[in-house]
Amino acid sequence: MDLLIWIAISLVLYGIYKYITINNDYFQKRGIVHIKPTFLFGTMASFILNRESVYDFSNNIYRKFPRQKVIGLFDMRKPFFCVRDVDVLKQIGVKDFEYFEDHRSFVDEKADVMFGNSLISLKGSKWRDMRATLSPAFTGSKMRQMFELVVECASTFKATASNSGSIDCEMKDLFTKYTNDVISSTAFGYKVNSFEDPNNEFYLSGKKFMEFNTPLAGMKFLLMQILPRVAAALDINFTDSKVTKFFRSMVLGNMDSRAKQGLFRPDMINILMNVKKGTTNELNSVEETQTDGFATVEESVIGTKVVKRVWTDDELVAQCFLFFLAGFDTSSTLLSFLSYELTVNPQIQQKLYEEIQETYRNLNGKRLTYDALQKMKYLDACICETLRHWPPAALTDRMCNKDYDYDDGQISVKIKKGTYFFIPIYGFHHDEKYWPNPEVFDPERFSDENKDKINLGAYLPFGIGPRNCIGSRFALMEAKAVIFYLLLNFSFEPNDKTQIPLKLSKSPFSLTAEKGVHVQLKLRK
């Protein structure tokens, strides 16, 4: 009897082993250079177990086989491809976009109504229709309409920080309060001051969601990937239920009260109200793409079509939720790392200050305007170089949504539907082939004299192709506005807590400084 039990146990263990390792020879069969997988974790062990940051992971994978255009990796037991060639990236991201228009799934739209229904998670025709629906909210003309609200938040931020001769700040914390106030005002029509009231619901909701960098969040993520049905049954997802309830109530309540009172604001709530009424949100025929900054991405034809589709309340609320999170975290990340670079590179800070001073004098005492901001070339160069050196996203991906015959001259293989490509943004941004001395922070790369030399396929701060970041104009606008007012009134100085050189934490998802970004803001005389 004991023998039969041991045989049964052995068969079960063998079955589990075969299930986990069944794809281990996937790339070997196809003659594709790949990193050999380890048991259970595939090639993701260092990332999943927090042995290295997502940025180190992206860079290390990118540099593994420098002569290869594409290499093979394993996401636990699932094989996937890593792109490390600009031409291949353009091929799947732009030229053959119809085969690679989706991101891989992390959450189910039914299990997590906020994140699962947001633009970043939607697929196929539903994504295309939502992209076209939201595009009018992010045109250059809409940015002009929102700019007064952004400047109001930026100038309030300046006043809050100037109560004494100097102030020691953790810049990520400082900028999340600013970006929270900007998004609350420009997207939702709520005026909050997170410096005076850090317990407002917008700010607390943003902080609550950003707890996905904790070990508990990592365990949830693993369970959602390995056993998605179990995670769904246990109601485990990215978005806290209280956060979901707050955003749903706030957005729908706002839409209802505006409709009853006939109120208008040029923001996302208004766009969604038009969608709900079946009114078309038209794109302006003329856009000023070239004046909005070098890093600004262009909208594809997908974003210019007219959509007639009935959206549910949850689908509409989810877009506001994503817009809030993107502004809350990624923009504040950009600003905090830019503040670090200005602190440790005083010559760059001084040159930028001189441009800001000149712009301020030309305003003749008037408030900063959108046009004046866009004319500041060195400010744009500093922002662009920060996005290169410290991209808010270390990587992105594309999912093959129908079988595809792939041939890059090195390998020829049929890519099955459901296979995804990993795009190591950080690796491209730090490749000596495209960026001389890539570890040096040098805004002159983006000067008028040099920017024509940039291989645009190796610069991906907002993604690539039709699935790029829809909010690039907004992100650049809010970042530039607050830096203008801060540097006009303060110099950025190191203090006792400033970590030089800055080291990244081993966060599995986001760009986070190991010990924070600590800077002294010293009032200019």
Total Cβ atoms within 10 A of residue 239: 23
Q: Hey, what long-range contacts does 282-291 have (CB within 8 A, 24 or more apart)?
A: 282/136, 282/306, 283/135, 283/136, 283/139, 284/139, 284/140, 284/141, 287/139, 287/140, 287/141, 288/140, 288/374, 289/140, 291/140, 291/374
- Binding residue ranges: 469
CB 31 within 8 A of CB 38: no
CB 328 within 8 A of CB 509: no
Q: For residues 47 and 41, what is the distance between their CA atoms, to the nearest angstrom?
A: 9
Strand pairing report for 166-170 and 518-523: antiparallel
- Nearest of 213, 517, 255 to residue 390 by alpha carbon: 517
Task: Give me the residue label for tokens 């390995």.
Answer: 226
Phi, psi of 38 (to 5 degrees): -95, 160
CB 303 within 8 A of CB 283: yes
- CB under 8 Å to 43, separation ≥6 — which residues? 35, 36, 37, 61, 73, 74, 75
- Nearest of 279, 320, 317, 283 to residue 298 by alpha carbon: 283
Task: Give me the residue label for tokens 């939201």.
Answer: 134
User: Of all helices (H) and strands (E), which one includes residue 145?
Assistant: helix 140-161
Query: Taking the CA atoms of the chain, what radius of gyration do you get in angstroms?
Result: 24
DSSP string, 447-503: STTTGGG--GGG--TT-SGGGS-TTHHHHHHHHHHHHHHHHHHEEEE--TT--SS--
DSSP string, 69-111: SEEEEEETTEEEEEE--HHHHHIIIIITGGGS-BPPPSS-TTT
CB 166 within 8 A of CB 522: yes
Half-sphere exposure of 447 (CA within 13 A, CB side): 7
DSSP state of 419: -
- Binding residue ranges for heme: 469
Helix intervals (H) in 311-438: 313-325, 331-344, 346-362, 370-374, 377-389, 425-429
List the beta strands (DSSP E) in 155-300. Answer: 166-170
Strand pairing report for 404-407 and 70-75: unpaired
- Nearest of 268, 171, 221, 286 to residue 48 by alpha carbon: 221
